Structure 1
């Protein structure tokens, strides 16, 4: 049977949620790799890991926050050390169903798999999103959380782009894989629970507007990286991406708190992203 590892990037995780995450995945995979991105609660993390079965856990402390992309690359390179071809990437607050890997296994032999993903429930929005009603389908991109990554495809695209640090990292690698002839497949089952930021929805007339309430720090990277990724990939219309960023900044000004700091961070990120060398 094909060996599958799981990898979790840690940054100041809630330990109880992390326990739930690990408990649900550890018996589905050969090993769980945890990469600590300079968490402030490292001692608490390591105390928890000391109580787990040593043969199932691989732990690496980077001692500082090198960004999500760098930590994901550490995970994949560790898989390569063990001659593993597939890894499920998980956010620290994701909780998978206990049969998600079993369900993914059925699709490993599909044509040119870059990543496999499935439906999920966002804790912030419950069942507001329309679910996949089309069975197995090819999609343009997926979030990294609970995605099953083909390591050979990762090699072909040169790994995760570490200059992105955080935000758009998942979108970028999916685009890169598709440019190399790989596909992102979404399987029609709900496989995990997850949350993005502190998401909220507001109904304005017949429209539902979603806000993510990310920090100003995150807003800088999300706007910067949106422009870098748009300029990097010909599939994306750069003008449309620019207008999309302005729309999100407008939503922040209307509906989120800490508006001024987020606005400044967003505009700075926009300018840096436009000027960044590709």
Structure 2
């Protein structure tokens, strides 16, 4: 008996590229839940209204910008309620590739241990650059995956719960991956299928004659990245995920300090986030089950 898959796309003031992405996704799954995380925005309502009229697409309007974690959860929860065995989630900055679902499902069938999450290799859409950690063949275990493009099994979600909504944005994918690993599930990357993804409001710049790309994350994002990084350390310790994250964070902050604007505000936001991460109180149950 075949097992069913639903797609979830999180939308916050999207542009028209979301229409093509949802169309591609709909070719591979039985139903797509588009979570409207920008209620009251007329342009978003018009765009998503076009999607709502398409067969196999459901728009889930949120009361406010509830954040990445709660937004993904709204779609995932509805997919699980409707009986789907797998949930495949995307943000609007990712481009769905043909045949990707079949490759990800293969990981669940072939990996020797129970798999919670399978994700594709990542390529920077702006540059066409395939990240070093995403070069390879076949299937490989990873400590964490980004949530966009990741395929989750019902079995795992019923054990570990959904994303931690208190994190709001940033590191919500690290957290659910690390919780899956702690519960005895595998988290795997499928190198034979590639997801084109945009990180932040990326722009090109030149530094000492070398072309680089700046993420240009806002002070608000710097706050959540700093806060949630500390929460991850407190919650999950200094494992392989931290070594990878430290390398990425160091490079990102070199660009912020040397090339980006509003450096003072971003530094201040990161300091406040670090302090709040130290103060962060863990509830008895950290996830919405």
When the two structures are superposed, what TM-score results if normalisation uses the length of structure 1?
0.88
Asked whether 1:264 is paired with 2:268, we answer yes
Distance 1:189 1:180 in 2: 27
Asked whether 1:144 is paired with 2:147, we answer yes
Distance 2:189 2:212 in 1: 25
Distance 1:152 1:48 in 2: 33
Distance 1:106 1:238 in 2: 25
What secondary structure is seen at the aligned counterpart in 2 of 1:262?
helix
Superposed displacement of residue 128, structure 1: 5.2
Distance 1:252 1:72 in 2: 28
Asked whether 1:7 is paired with 2:8, we answer yes
What secondary structure is seen at the aligned counterpart in 2 of 1:90?
strand
Superposed displacement of residue 249, structure 1: 4.4
**What is the total number of aligned residue pairs between the two structures?**
274
Q: Which residue of 2 aligns with 1:125?
A: 127
Distance 2:157 2:62 in 1: 21
| Aligned 1:13-28 pairs, distance under 5 A | 13-14=14-15, 16-28=16-28
Q: Which string of whole-angstrom CA distances, capped at 9 and with x for unpartnered residues, describes residues 40-91 of structure 1?
A: 23322333224412xx012210120111111111112111211112011011
Superposed displacement of residue 237, structure 1: 9.2
Q: Which residue of 1 aligns with 2:102?
A: 102
Structure 1: segments with no counterpart, 5+ residues? none
Superposed displacement of residue 202, structure 1: 6.4
Q: Check 1:238–1:172 CA distance in 2 against 1; reply closer, same or farther (3 A cut).
A: closer
Distance 1:46 1:97 in 2: 21
Distance 1:23 1:128 in 2: 25
Q: Which residue of 2 aligns with 1:153?
A: 156
Q: Which string of whole-angstrom CA distances, capped at 9 and with x for unpartnered residues, describes residues 91-115 of structure 1?
A: 1131111211122222222321011
Distance 1:125 1:133 in 2: 19
Asked whether 1:213 is paired with 2:216, we answer yes
Q: Which residue of 1 aligns with 2:166?
A: 163
Would you say the 8 A contact 2:123–2:130 is kept in 1?
A: no
Distance 1:248 1:50 in 2: 38
Correspondent of 2:199 among 193, 196, 213: 196
What secondary structure is seen at the aligned counterpart in 2 of 1:189?
strand
Distance 1:176 1:246 in 2: 25
Distance 1:237 1:193 in 2: 24
What secondary structure is seen at the aligned counterpart in 2 of 1:106?
helix
Most deviating of 234-243 and 58-67: 234-243
Q: Which residue of 2 aligns with 1:70?
A: 70
Structure 2: segments with no counterpart, 5+ residues? 283-289
When the two structures are superposed, what TM-score results if normalisation uses the length of structure 2?
0.85
Q: Which residue of 2 aligns with 1:186?
A: 189
Superposed displacement of residue 125, structure 1: 3.3
Would you say the 8 A contact 1:21–1:96 is kept in 2?
A: yes
Distance 1:201 1:138 in 2: 34
Asked whether 1:45 is paired with 2:47, we answer yes
Correspondent of 1:174 among 168, 177, 186: 177
Q: Which residue of 2 aligns with 1:33?
A: 33
Would you say the 8 A contact 1:119–1:192 is kept in 2?
A: yes
